[in-house]
Structure 1
Amino acid sequence: MSITRHRHSSLRSYVMFVFLRLTLRPLLALWPLTAAGMSILPRLDAKITEKAPMPRGVVHEWVTLGGRRTELSMPAGPSRGGTDTAILYLHGGAFIVAGIGTHRAITGKLARGTGLPVFALEYRQLPGVGVGTSVADALDAYRELLTERGFRRIVLAGDSAGGFLCGKVIELATGAGLPSPTAWIGYSPWLDLDAGSNPDRSSRADSYLPIRKMRRLVPLLERGPVALAGARSIVDVDPLVFPPTILITAEAELLEPDAITLAERLMTADVEVQLHSYAWQVHAFPMLLDQPQSREAIRLTAEFATAAVRAAEVADGRDEQAG
């Protein structure tokens, strides 16, 4: 396993860490997890989606994927990627907030960095549905890319709650009769739904995630209409079903210990894995901040995905020749 610790940070990172610690953290601690409180957030994201700028060098198109609205981001000009490979991006936001608008910058950067089309799925969330339904939407989108849209290889990418959805797609793909993903990019992935109840977990050093709020959120995730199948912790999933994996975390954030544990399990199973831990960064910082460490993390993940796709193409070519 390769764990790389990035100790140096920028002044902007320090300022943002302190700012979110003093503002967003107490706001999240006080925000009511009621139907009214949660229903405000999707409306805010709809406004953001309308006004969020389109990244330069990327073209966008609205499509439907797995029955859900999806934004397709593609590099402008000639594509450097194969026409049979795509990225499925599953956004974070604690299964309550965020969506296409809040994540348009990072999906555009991944499209530019890899030369691949990026499908950003607007999956269903609280307060209307629980996490099992979010997983079902993600798996349906993954299935459609492979069975109806002509893609042979899919790179999964996601941050925070989207990281959990990526892990569930990896876990459930084989049982659904689908090939495994080609690679997985996880930015501060939420890997264990019960992390907030783990006595070894703490949010004291986290920039803005309060562990007590996570503890209160989890029971709400149980609502249907689709029940959650399989593991509640991605760490418990058979490591042999995982593709080449790269994980990006903020040092000492609430969710980092599970990412380290998963990376260790993958290493023991001889699965290719990298983990990059960045000091003085905030949860899901590649998505939130445009600063040197974010750009480096996106570059590293784009290069990792590109290498994994090339290796899969070579392996496919050998299999075809042998056949």
Structure 2
Amino acid sequence: MTPQTSESVTSVIVESTRPARIGTRIAHPVLRTTLQQFLRAGAWVADFGPGPAELIFRATRLSEAPARMLGAPRGTHRHPVFFERFDAEWLWTAPVSDPRVDRDAAILYFHGGAFIAGGLNSYRRHTARLGTESALPVFTVDYRQLPDAHPNDSLDDALTAYQYLLDEGFAPEKIIVAGDSAGGGLALRMVLTARDLGLPLPAGISVTSPWADFDSTARMAHPNANTDAVLPAAGPAMVVRRGIAIDGVLDPSWSVVNHDFTGLPPILLQVGSREMLLSDALEVARRCEEANVPMTLQIRASAPHTLIHLGAELLADGRDAARDAAGFHRAMIEQASTGRSAA
């Protein structure tokens, strides 16, 4: 990675990247006047009550079917894997070997979408590109979502997928656990839970803009609540009220930021400087510092939420972010291969 500035704070390295390029700067007003307005309207309707919320959640999920037309980059190999309660798939591109035969190393990926959107179809191009950049196969998981399943069920699916890789013969020190937004928070929560269950931990965690705190108080008070180009301030709070809280009660243990991070592997966290989930990212960094967990917090100038990577096909800044993540993935796997200390 080539940060413009780098500051070491105990185990946490904070990197600020170069100023945003013109494409990223243009994306802000475009997204604020299009996608954010659509999401704002959906959040407003959903907050009328349980019925409208379920309607919006299900309507959002419908976008996954037409996303199949996006396909995958040319040369990508795909193999579906079916579990009892969810589906997943392998993606790899030559010269990477077929992960069903060569069980050397892999990325385990959890997509974003606020637990109401996203899936294998909409994320296929992104995860395939990330695997190609990282020279690793990607196992991406279509975990259960609202309104049919709670994020606790999503966590069960994430653990099942991780255990599947271990059972298939992948060494934990050769696995990178990754995700973005809701999937980024899920990735962190899965590794924390694996630690508590006594499972061997992966080589590293690579997350983009993780939704790590279901309590919206800190996010709403942060200046970025008014500068995010994608997420309306009311969006995550609505999903919590209408989907995640049970009988109006939100269990603090469901939020990643309320856990002790002791013993976790190295973490790369990429987030935009103006997005709402910067607040969550800073709390994750604080937990890493308290637990002396090696972490690189990369704050990318003006990068819109999730477009840090998802916009890699269109935005040069997105391609830079993807290359930085891929470099982290390869470094973690190489350290496991050579026996060097991950710290």
Aligned to 1:46: 65
Shift of 1:265: 3.1
Match of 2:283 in 1: 261
Conservation of the 8 A alpha-carbon contact between 1:129 and 1:223: no
Identity across aligned pairs (percent)? 31
What is the CA deviation profile of residues 60-89 of structure 1, one whole-angstrom value per residue up to 9, with x for unaligned ones? 111125742112111223549973321110
Alignment correspondent of 1:35: 54
Quote how far apart the aligned CAs of 1:287 are.
3.5
Residue 70 of structure 2 aligns with an amino acid whose one-letter code is A
Contact 1:159 1:284 in 2 (8 A): yes
Which residue does 1:282 correspond to in 2?
A: 304
- Normalising by structure 2, report the TM-score: 0.84
CA offsets 1:214-242 (integer angstroms, 9 cap, x no match):
21210333378xx9988233222222232
Q: Match of 1:137, as an amino acid?
A: D
- Find the aligned partners of 2:182 and 2:301 in 1 and give their Cα distance: 21
Can you list the C-alpha shifts for 1:144-194, whole angstroms capped at 9, x where unaligned?
1112x1111221110000011111111110233311121111111111011
Letter in 2 for 1:152: A
The structure 1 segments of at least 4 consecutive aligned residues displaced by more than 6 Å after TM superposition are: 227-230
Q: State the TM-score, normalized to the length of structure 1.
A: 0.89
SS state of the match for residue 207, structure 2?
strand
Structure 1 residue 7, shift from structure 2 partner? 3.8
Task: For 1:112, give the aligned amino acid.
Answer: T
Preserved CA contact (<8 Å) 1:135 1:228: no
Equivalent position of 1:320 in the other structure = none
1:250 equivalent in structure 2: 272
Runs of at least 5 residues in structure 1 that lack an aligned partner in the other structure: 318-323
- Counterpart of 2:283, as a letter, is T
The question of whether the paired residues in 2 share the 8 Å contact of 1:87 and 1:156 is answered with yes
* 1:111 and 2:131 correspond: yes
The residue aligned with 2:35 is 24
Q: How big is each residue's C-alpha offset from its partner over 1:182-215, in whole Å with a ceiling of 9 and x where there is no partner?
A: 1111111111011356553351011121122221
Query: 2:151 and 2:320 mapped to 1: Cα distance?
Result: 31
1:294 is matched with: 318
Kindly provide the amino acid, as one letter, of the partner of residue 19 in structure 2. H
2:332 aligned residue: 308
Pairs within 5 Å for 1:33-112: 33=46, 34-49=53-68, 51-65=69-83, 67-79=85-97, 83-112=103-132
CA contact (8 A) 1:131 1:221 kept: no
Among 148, 170, 193, the residue aligned to 1:128 = 148
Q: Distance in 1 between matches of 2:98 and 2:133?
A: 10
Residues 1:3 and 2:7 are matched in the alignment? no
Aligned residue in 2 for 1:193? 214
Q: Give the alignment partner of residue 150 of structure 1, picking from 166, 169, 181.
A: 169
Deviation at 1:308, TM superposition (A): 1.0
SS of 1:217's equivalent in the other structure is helix
3-state DSSP of counterpart to 1:238 = coil
Amino acid at match of 2:176: V
Alpha-carbon separation, structure 2, partners of 1:218 and 1:196: 12
Alignment RMSD: 2.5
- Which residue in 1 is equivalent to 2:3? none
Partner residue in 1 for 2:26: 15
Q: C-alpha offsets along residues 280-299 of structure 1, whole Å, 9 cap, x if unaligned? A: 22001133312111111111
Matched residue, 1:183: 204
Residue 268 of structure 2 aligns to a residue whose secondary structure is: strand
SS of 1:254's partner is: coil
* Letter of the 1:85 counterpart: A
> Which stretch of structure 1 is more off in the superposition, 57-66 or 210-219?
57-66
Q: How many residues align?
A: 313
Deviates more, 1:2-11 or 1:122-131: 2-11
Aligned partner of 1:321 in structure 2 is none
Q: Which one of 140, 164, 172 corresponds to residue 185 of structure 2? A: 164
User: CA offsets, 1:273-318, max 9 Å, x none?
Assistant: 111111222001133312111111111111111111121233399x
Deviation at 1:143? Answer: 1.1
Structure 2 counterpart of 1:274, one-letter code: T
Letter in 1 for 2:260: D
**Shift of the alpha carbon at 1:132?**
0.9
Q: Which moved more, 1:157-166 or 1:287-296?
A: 287-296
Q: Secondary structure at the match of 1:119?
A: strand
SS for the counterpart of 2:201 is coil
- 1:268 Cα shift? 4.4
Query: Which SS does the other structure have where 1:125 is aligned?
Result: coil
Distance 1:67 1:214, change over 3 A: closer
